[in-house]
Amino acid sequence: MKSTVAKIVTGLTNTGRFPFAYADLTCGHSAKVDLVPATYACWHCSRPTAGPSSEGCPCGKREGVKTLSTPNPHVEADRLTKVGDVVECEHCDRNVVATAKMRAALLSGEIVHTRFRNWCGQGIVYAYRRASDSPSGVFQAATLDAPDFDKLFAELRSAGLISSSLSPLSPTEGLGR
């Protein structure tokens, strides 16, 4: 799905040595910031080149290349991605597929329970079906981000497509998410 870049966030890695940037999107996800390519030159003749190559330079030397410039994600001129650009949100694309899979799993009637887990700071809902060949007796059928699951679950329940007795969580879990 397409989304618009709302802002560019910059920072440094934990060591404080390496700058990074990512784009905050209007859909609430983040995306990679594309940068201008690095520039290189032949170590011997200083002729600009695309980068290290096994073919060497046209001057005949194979001594390698020197880096003339590397893009800095903190410098706006080095960023190809700008605020207002429309970009593809890979997270939204994955959610469309995951939502379809979860919808099919819920409508199949095979789901015995779901569980909410916090994974890397984000809530994920896991749906399970019975599986006699599994040591636990269940097998994971689908996963979906919690906000998307809540919307899907409410939509299917209000449309009468799933049983009103189906619980959004396993019976042993509370609603403390």
CA distances (Å), 160 to each of 15, 96, 99, 153, 163, in order? 53, 22, 18, 11, 7
pLDDT of residue 86: 94
Residue 85 tokens read as 């650009």
pLDDT of residue 168: 53
Q: Say if residues 132 and 139 touch (Cβ distance below 8 Å).
A: no
3-state secondary structure of 98: helix
Domain ranges of the chain: 2-88, 90-158
pLDDT of residue 123: 87
Residue 7 tokens read as 């802002």
The burial of 170, by beta-carbon neighbours within 10 Å (0-12 exposed, 13-18 middle, 19 or more buried), is given as: middle
pLDDT of residue 172: 53
Q: What's the pTM?
A: 0.65
The pLDDT tens digits along the chain (177 residues) read 899 999 999 999 888 789 999 999 999 889 999 999 998 888 888 888 777 766 667 777 767 788 889 999 999 999 999 999 999 999 889 989 999 999 998 898 888 888 888 877 778 889 898 888 888 888 899 999 888 888 998 898 888 887 655 655 555 554 444
